[in-house]
Amino acid sequence: MTKQQFAILATDILTTLLVQEFGMGKHSYDLSVYKDPVRFMIILSSRATTTLTATSWSKTAFAVSLLRLTTDRTKDFVVFIIVSLNVLHGFSAAVPWIQCQPLAKGWRGEIPGTCWAPQVGTKIWIGTGGESLSLFLFFLLFLFFPFSPFFFFLL
């Protein structure tokens, strides 16, 4: 067994054990909020971070594939999209973990400390969703209407 195969096997075993230990993989309805609200909040925060990271990486992968199809100013614009997408989504994915000082204040309200107003995270996530929608529309137009007047300003 090579080192890479061993690393993949060890990661798979560790992930399986952690998923079973924390009861992940269940729908939110199957989790008992009242039984252990702290665990529920940690799972929700982890889910938000994982989801935002996955959407960012999938859009980045598609944008990287567009780099091979573009030249000059259009390529610069796609690079700008990649950078801005990852910065915004990275910050948005970090919100559950940076909104409270100390960190545990986010799921244990009795701990002394400060948190952002709940509306702050909501507004950040709404802005991220708007940016994702606009990028989706841009990619859609780029694929289906590459010779439309919209793209001539980038040439």
pLDDT tens digits, one per residue of 14-62: 777 766 766 666 666 666 666 777 777 787 788 788 888 888 888 888 8
In whole angstroms, give the CA distance from residue 18 to residue 70: 43
pLDDT over 70 for what percent of the chain?
A: 80
At 136 the pLDDT is 80
Of all helices (H) and strands (E), which one includes residue 100?
Answer: strand 100-101
Residue 148 has pLDDT above 70, yes or no: no
**Region 81-93 average pLDDT:** 90
Lowest-confidence segment of 70-74, 110-114, 133-137, 145-149 by average pLDDT: 145-149
In whole angstroms, give the CA distance from residue 96 to residue 106: 8
At 52 the pLDDT is 87
Lowest-confidence segment of 19-23, 102-106, 124-128 by average pLDDT: 19-23
